[in-house]
């Protein structure tokens, strides 16, 4: 099919709304932080008069009700990990027909991203990108894939370098990209949290009792998709070492995924709730005492911020994302990645000192109050408008 060259819209037409094409490898077929953030973005943009067309792969069954208009992109299930999908080329004719003012690529190392960069260049449409995941950190969890890291890093340098601006959720992630040789115009796009939904007042003795948790038991919670790249082996090792210290506790695991069996085998006494959302998720957070999160793959860490808003001290890996949220020694602790003994020791300190835990909890809540979803999304819209001369406000 032939594709007509892109023709920029005359911005003297005041009735012409800003048009954004969003290209993402995760939008509605899996419920992860990327999909939830992008859906929130689209809903915000449309509520502010922006026309959005989303290009993304879809599965047989949607994991969530998506925001906006979605154009399915050809894709296939990833071998041995069918919960993920590998997206193919962008439908360039549909992109050209939409005539966007800007293409926003939520970058992933797949053909969809590469074809989007080519389409933007061919059609003369400005391209911006956003960073959501540290894909290079995934490789160590899959035998035989570590040799791919130089190739992956080179692709990310190329792809981010092709964008006029790269929206990065944390300062620590900017540092990581620069260390990998990425050269672009970086602009911070921190995430937000619903502090009315996630708050300490949602703590429930009845909820704890329903899940077999005693009123005085010390509860460590881990909230995540249950996939090995979230450092599930470190979670298991840390909790076993913590248990060996003789501190009475319960482990609460919120989430689900293909590697749930790994956690069930390693932590047979843990409470598993499966996926939760809304009020149920808020109650689960607030009904715990400490949040454990040793993952290194986060560029921001939405779950860490939700835990902080819920009044939980956090014990997280000293890695991108977490180190931009957790203030070590004030709202929680940052520990060396994969240091299970260190994580266990931090948990023990918090379990034994109620006053310290209460101070950290209050400070975590106060810090979370500074993160607003409206401000987060307004930043992106301002960035868009700055790149499109005459964009209507």
What pLDDT digit, counting tens, does each position of 142-184 carry? 666 666 778 888 998 999 999 999 999 988 889 888 998 999 9
Q: Report the DSSP pairing between strands 314-317 and 290-293.
A: parallel
Tens digit of pLDDT for each residue in 109-155? 889 999 999 999 999 999 999 998 776 665 565 666 666 778 888 99
In the structure encoding, which two tokens stand for residue 270, read together?
């843990």
How confident is residue 9, by pLDDT bands cut at 50, 70 and 90?
very low
Rounded distance between C-alpha atoms, residue 203 and residue 285, angstroms: 8
H helix count then E strand count, the chain = 14, 15
Tokens of 329: 């020694």
Dump pLDDT digits (tens) for 196-253: 999 999 999 999 999 999 988 999 999 999 998 899 999 999 999 999 999 999 999 9
> Which pairing describes strands 127-130 and 165-168: parallel, antiparallel, or unpaired?
parallel
Pairing relation of β-strands 218-223 and 249-254? parallel
Overall residue count recorded for the chain in this entry: 393
Give the per-residue pLDDT at 80: 72
Question: Does residue 275 surpass a pLDDT of 90?
Answer: yes
Supply the pTM of this predicted model: 0.86
Domains of the chain with bracketed CATH: 19-192+373-387 (3.40.50.2000), 200-368 (3.40.50.2000)
> What are residue 104's DSSP bridge partners?
22, 128
pLDDT at 180: 86
180 neighbors 156 (Cβ within 8 angstroms) = yes
Contacts with 47 (C-beta within 8 Å, 6 or more apart), sequence order:
none
Pairing type for strands 165-168 and 69-72 reads unpaired
The continuous run of DSSP H or E covering 216 comes out as none
Is 303 a residue whose pLDDT tops 90?
yes
43's enclosing H/E stretch is: helix 33-47
The CA distance from 291 to 312, in Å, is: 6
Give alpha helix (H) positions in 67-222. Answer: 92-98, 111-123, 149-161, 171-179, 205-210
pLDDT tens digits for range 56-94: 999 888 989 999 999 999 999 887 777 888 889 999 999
């Amino acid at each position: 099919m032939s594709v007509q060259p892109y023709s920029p819209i005359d911005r003297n037409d005041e009735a012409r709304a800003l048009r954004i094409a969003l290209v993402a490898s995760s939008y509605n077929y899996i419920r992860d932080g990327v999909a939830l953030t992008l859906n929130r973005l689209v809903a915000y943009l449309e509520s502010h008069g922006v026309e959005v067309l989303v290009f993304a792969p879809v599965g047989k069954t949607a994991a969530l009700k998506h925001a906006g208009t979605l154009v399915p992109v050809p894709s296939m299930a990833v071998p041995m990990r069918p919960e993920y999908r590998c997206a193919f080329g962008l439908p360039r004719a549909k992109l050209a027909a939409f005539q966007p003012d800007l293409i926003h690529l939520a970058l992933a190392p797949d053909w969809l991203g590469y074809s989007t960069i080519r389409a933007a260049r061919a059609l003369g449409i400005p391209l911006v990108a956003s960073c959501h995941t540290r894909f290079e950190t995934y490789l160590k969890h899959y035998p035989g894939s570590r040799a791919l890291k130089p190739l992956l890093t080179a692709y990310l340098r190329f792809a981010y370098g092709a964008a006029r601006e790269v929206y990065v959720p944390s300062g620590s992630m900017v540092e990581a990209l620069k260390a990998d040789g990425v050269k672009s115009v970086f602009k911070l796009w921190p995430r937000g949290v619903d502090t009315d939904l996630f708050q300490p007042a949602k703590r429930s003795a009845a909820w704890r009792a329903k899940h077999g948790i005693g009123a005085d038991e010390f509860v460590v919670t881990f909230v995540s998709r249950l996939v090995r790249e979230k450092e599930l082996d470190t979670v298991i090792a840390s909790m076993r070492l913590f248990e060996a210290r003789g501190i009475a506790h319960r482990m609460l695991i919120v989430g689900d995924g293909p590697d749930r069996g790994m956690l069930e085998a390693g932590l047979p006494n843990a409470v598993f709730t499966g996926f939760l959302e809304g009020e149920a998720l808020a109650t689960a957070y607030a009904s715990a005492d400490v949040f454990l999160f040793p993952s290194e793959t986060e560029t921001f860490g939405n779950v860490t911020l939700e835990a902080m808003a819920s009044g939980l001290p956090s014990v997280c890996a000293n890695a991108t994302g977490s180190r931009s949220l957790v203030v070590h020694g004030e709202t929680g602790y940052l520990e060396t990645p994969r240091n299970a003994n260190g994580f266990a020791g931090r948990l023990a300190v918090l379990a034994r000192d109620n006053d310290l835990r209460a101070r950290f909890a209050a400070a975590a809540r106060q810090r979370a109050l500074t993160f607003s979803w409206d401000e987060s999304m307004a930043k992106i819209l301002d960035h868009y408008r700055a790149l499109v001369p005459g964009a209507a406000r």
